[in-house]
Amino acid sequence: MTLLQFRANAWFYCALLFAAFSPAAQAKTLCVNPGGTGGCFAKIQLAVNAAAVNDIINVAAGTYTEDVVIGKPLSLIGAGAGQSFIDATNLANGILLDGLNNPGLHDVTIAGFTVENALYEGVLLLSTTGVTVRDNDIVNNDKEGPSTSGTACVGQPNYETDESFDCGGGLHLLGAVDSFVSGNTVSGNADGILISDETRTAHSNVIILNTVTANPLVCGITLASHAPVGSQPPHYATHHGVNNNTISTNVSTNNGAQKGGAGVGLFSDGNGQGVVANNVVSGNTLTGNSLPGIAIHSHKGPAFGDPADNMSGNIIVSNTISGNGADTADGKTPGKAGINISSGDGGSGIGGIVVTLNTISGEDVDIGVNTGVEVDIHLNNLLGSKIGVSNDCTLDGASCTGSNINATQNYWGCATGPGGSGCTTVSGSNINATPFLGSTAD
């Protein structure tokens, strides 16, 4: 090789290296505005289609009537909730992140929009990884529901295996992993935020600092294990699982006024062996919901000849709960309840649950339990002035085997402990309430 050739080759490889690491080779920024002026796109979907991996799309204030489908890593940034509107009237979703048809979809950010009027979910994360959804208003979606028959809303895709009540919710994390959902307002949808597992395990998602209010049909925030896609009765397959998610410092209030909904619900659907395990519900404010502030339900299990659901290891800590409704059906509570842990009629023991440092007031029953295994309840402030802890076994059917409730070291509303003047008390058998705290738990 001559010196000239060497220098030429060296320049070529340096140029390649520079291109690979220079800003010009990194993400570029595209723009969208309603008129499509100034070199911008007029539709969000057109910009998404034109974007390369990791590009940024800035969407100006205005209303965009479309159903945006994303299948590549990118950032979609609006001018702010209340300024950039995605109006999905008569369309399936406002925004669909489709990792089912784009396997491996990851690293998408959605921020700064009002998403409204979709037939199903306002925002749907479908088999995605590492998605951020922040600072949006997700309002008045789920227009198709509820369904009057079947397990899904009319026209909904078959990966939605159990959405008859809510058509998927305002924001649905379906088989989503490592999502970060923060600073959103979710209201006026059939239900608010839903994590479910029809396509794969939904795990390690963080739902934090959201306001979820006045979603009229069912719950504010729901972790629900549903039958896998393609699984058929009568022997539904074991569910993938809703595991290791964190629900923290959200406000969930006034949900479920029409059909009944908890502030936060952890549920197995009863169609096969459900898995909702090792989740953390921490530091939330849960008030005025039509079911308990936190409801944990397993509806099927050994009493029906089915395998037991796995709803173990969930942690309920440092929540503020007040003024919610009674639980019903096979998870019945004897009045309005703050927290209800119920195996219903199915007999699946809900074990390994930690209930601690919660402050509960304005309820007939602060904490109700019917699960057939030991439940530990410690360091809570039970301020409802009625029943602090209730063993609700006798409210349910013959499948009830009773629970051992370790309710030591709680504050019962006064220094003299459960049953003292002005204090909450216990109801039912097998409840150990002593020793107790003489002042509030911090």
Q: How confident is the model at residue 440 (pLDDT cuts 50, 70, 90)?
A: very high
What is residue 26's three-state secondary structure?
coil
Q: What average pLDDT does this structure show over 421-428?
A: 91
Q: Can you say how many angstroms the Cα of residue 97 is from the centroid of all Cα atoms in its chain?
A: 17
In this structure, the number of other CB atoms found within 10 A of the CB of residue 146 comes to: 16
- At residue 242, what are phi and psi to the nearest 5 degrees? -120, 100
pLDDT at 205 over 80: yes
Residue 11 has pLDDT above 50, yes or no: no
Chain centroid to CA 300:
22
The candidate with the shortest Cα–Cα distance to 229, out of 203, 274, 199, is 199
Task: Assess if residue 439 is contained within a domain.
Answer: no
- The yes-or-no verdict on residue 433 having pLDDT over 60 is yes
The percentage of residues in the chain with a pLDDT greater than 90, rounded to a whole number, is 76
Residue with tokens 């209010």: 213
Residue 53 inside a domain? The answer is no
Q: Are 325 and 289 in contact (CB under 8 A)?
A: yes
**282 located within any domain:** yes
pLDDT 10s digits, 260-279: 999 999 999 888 899 999 99
Residue recorded with tokens 């409204």: 116
Is the pLDDT at 5 greater than 70? The verdict is no
Task: Judge whether residue 175 has pLDDT over 70.
Answer: yes
Q: What is the CATH number of the domain that holds 133?
A: 2.160.20
As a whole number, mean pLDDT of residues 45-64 equals 98
pLDDT digit string, tens, across residues 210-237:
999 999 999 999 999 999 998 888 778 9
With beta carbons less than 8 A apart as the criterion, state whether 347 and 303 touch: yes
pLDDT score for 165: 75
Residue 43: predicted pLDDT: 98
State the pLDDT at residue 25. 52
Q: What is the pLDDT of residue 7?
A: 40
Q: What is the pLDDT of residue 21?
A: 44
Residue pLDDT, tens place only, 389-403? 999 876 655 455 567
CA–CA separation, 191 and 120 (whole Å) = 11
Question: Residue 23 pLDDT > 80, yes or no?
Answer: no
Residue 148 confidence (pLDDT): 65
Q: How confident is the model at residue 153 (pLDDT cuts 50, 70, 90)?
A: confident
* Contact partners, residue 166, CB within 8 Å, separation at least 6: 142, 145, 146, 189, 190, 191, 194, 217, 218
Q: Is residue 438 part of a domain?
A: no
- Domain span at 410: 59-432
Distance (Å, whole) CA 103 – CA 77: 23
Mean pLDDT of the chain, nearest integer: 91
Q: What angle do CA 65, 67, 71 make, to 5 degrees?
A: 140
**Distance, CA of 394 to CA of 71 (rounded, Å):** 51
**89, part of any domain:** yes
Q: 151 lies in a domain? A: yes
Which pLDDT score, from 0 to 100, does residue 20 have? 43
- CB burial of 35-71 (b: ≥16 within 10 Å; e: otherwise) equals eeeeebbeebeebbeebeeebebbbbeeebebbbbbb
Q: Determine the average pLDDT of the residues in 180-200.
A: 97
As for how many domains the chain has, the answer is 1
Kindly give the residue spans of alpha helices, DSSP state H, lying in 131-263: none
pLDDT tens digits, 308-318: 999 999 999 99
Residue 3, pLDDT score: 38
User: Is it the case that residue 183 has pLDDT exceeding 90?
Assistant: yes
Q: For residue 128, what are its two tokens?
A: 């995605």
Quick check: is 359 in a domain? yes
pLDDT (0 to 100) of residue 13: 40
Asked if pLDDT for residue 435 goes beyond 70, the answer is yes
Tens-place pLDDT, residues 106-150? 999 999 999 999 999 999 999 999 999 999 999 999 998 777 666
Continuous segment of H or E residues that includes residue 8:
helix 3-21
What's the pTM value of the predicted model, to 2 decimals? 0.93
Q: Confirm whether 287 is domain-assigned.
A: yes
CA distances from 406 to 120, 277, 431 (A): 43, 21, 6
Return the higher-pLDDT residue of 68 and 258. Answer: 68
* Mode of pairing for the β-strands spanning 276-277 and 315-317: unpaired
